[in-house]
């Protein structure tokens, strides 16, 4: 008995293989996409550190970064929401916490 299989793309095979390893908590999901969503420069200065009821707290290296990111919160939130399942993030809050780095 012979089976013919249609070849799958490598990307499709990898997605299927990695899917069970996907982050399970909302915070882990945001952390997994953070650098891609905000860019390496911002990711070097601010990191998601907590989540409660859809509100993600982002620790910033300095007050100036926290202030700037607060001004860009709507834009940043939209970028993050594009990369995580619907309903994962309702709001981003930025605070100063240089020890999180």
For residue 74, the model assigns a pLDDT of: 97
For residue 69, the model assigns a pLDDT of: 98
DSSP string, 18-41: HGGGS--SHHHHHHHHHHHHH-HH
For residue 2, the model assigns a pLDDT of: 59
Give yes or no for residue 3 having a pLDDT over 70: no
For residues 55-79, average pLDDT:
97
Looking at CATH, the fold of the domain delimited by 25-100 is given as GMP Synthetase; Chain A, domain 3 (3.30.300)
Give yes or no for residue 34 having a pLDDT over 80: yes
Q: Among all chains, which residue has been given the structure tokens 């601010």?
A: 46
């Amino acid at each position: 008995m012979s089976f013919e299989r249609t070849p799958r793309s490598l990307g499709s095979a990898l997605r299927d293989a990695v899917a069970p390893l996907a982050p399970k908590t909302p915070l882990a999901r945001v952390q997994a996409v953070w650098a891609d969503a905000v860019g390496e420069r911002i990711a070097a200065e601010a990191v998601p550190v907590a989540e409660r009821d859809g509100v993600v707290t982002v620790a910033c290296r300095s007050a100036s970064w926290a202030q700037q990111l607060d001004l860009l919160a709507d834009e940043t939130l939209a970028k993050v929401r594009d990369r995580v399942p619907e309903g994962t993030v309702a709001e981003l809050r930025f605070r100063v916490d240089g020890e999180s780095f």
